[in-house]
């Protein structure tokens, strides 16, 4: 039986006192690739923030990577986030240090102490994203696509069960977007990591079809195929 990585049932998503989404019922299994789509302001970001513990889940039930979202507090959030990888549209790399040091910074921040193990892990994730030889480069010396690969490498550092990708192709040209999409699908398949990708880009979705979750009119609609939209 497939292992569930994200499970929300009868969930209500709030931003402050405003109810953004209601009756949210979602299940994402290990190794599954799922798109999260919806117009700006329909709750896509609020849903993502709930999944990584930025917004509390106040009503309904939610389990993400084995963590109960209803039981989350500031002490538990860092543990949840270690089970996740988050990929941002704007990379959010530290500009004052090279790629290797960017990755090392994250490992130290999440409790790694052994230098040898850290080196092995950094080389491993750079290998996975095809940047093994680029660890010495500063972010500004890299193309947008390379920076996004570093961002994905960073998301893989703690061998996450779930990668949340927020518009990862939003700032990239079509060819580079293709490379990043192939990489994300490969991560889902090869490492059995669930990937939930928020996007506005229907060109990407049509080229790389997968199940879709759509935020609309305060609800989340689940589709097994792109064609129903």
Question: For residues 187 and 169, is the Cβ–Cβ distance under 8 A?
Answer: no
Say which DSSP state 40 is in.
T
Residue of 120, 119, 184 lying closest to 152 (CA atoms): 184
Residues above pLDDT 90, as percent of the chain: 82
Tokens of 152: 């994905």
- For residue 21, pLDDT over 90 is answered with yes
Helices (H) and strands (E) in the chain, counts: 7, 10
Query: For residue range 152-173, what is the model confidence (pLDDT) as tens digits?
Result: 999 999 999 999 999 999 888 9
- pLDDT computed for residue 111 by the predictor: 86
The count of C-alpha atoms lying within 13 angstroms of the C-alpha of 56, restricted to the half-sphere facing its C-beta, is: 10
- Domain positions in the chain are 1-83+163-229, 90-159
| d(C-alpha 122, C-alpha 228), whole Å | 41
Mean pLDDT for the stretch of residues 25-30: 95
- pLDDT computed for residue 170 by the predictor: 87
Query: For residue range 96-124, what is the model confidence (pLDDT) as tens digits?
Result: 999 999 999 999 988 899 999 999 999 99
Residue given tokens 């089970």 in the structure block = 83
- Which pTM value belongs to this model? 0.91
What angle, rounded to 10 degrees, do the helices at 174-191 and 144-156 form? 20
- CATH level 3 topology of 1-83+163-229: Rossmann fold (3.40.50)
Could you tell me the end-to-end alpha-carbon distance of the chain, in angstroms, rounded to an integer? 29
């Amino acid at each position: 039986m497939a292992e569930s990585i994200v499970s929300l049932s009868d969930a209500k998503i709030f931003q402050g006192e405003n109810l953004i989404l209601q009756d949210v019922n979602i299940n994402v299994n290990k190794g599954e690739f799922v798109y999260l789509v919806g117009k700006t302001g329909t709750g896509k970001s609020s849903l993502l923030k709930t999944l990584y513990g930025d917004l509390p889940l106040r009503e309904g039930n939610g389990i993400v990577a084995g963590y109960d979202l209803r039981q989350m507090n500031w002490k538990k959030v860092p543990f949840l986030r270690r089970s996740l990888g988050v990929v941002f549209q704007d990379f959010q790399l530290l500009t004052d240090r090279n790629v290797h040091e960017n990755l090392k910074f994250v490992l130290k921040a999440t409790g790694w102490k052994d230098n040898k193990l850290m080196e092995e892990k950094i080389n491993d994730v750079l290998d996975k994203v095809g940047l093994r030889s680029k660890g010495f480069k500063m972010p500004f010396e890299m193309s947008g696509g390379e920076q996004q690969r570093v961002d994905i490498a960073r998301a893989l550092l703690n061998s996450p069960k779930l990668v949340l990708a927020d518009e990862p192709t939003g700032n990239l040209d079509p060819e580079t977007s293709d490379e990043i999409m192939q990489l994300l699908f490969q991560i889902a398949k090869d490492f059995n990591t669930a990937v939930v990708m928020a996007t506005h880009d229907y060109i990407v979705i049509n080229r790389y079809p997968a199940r879709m979750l759509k935020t609309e009119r305060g609800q989340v609609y689940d589709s097994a195929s792109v064609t129903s939209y």
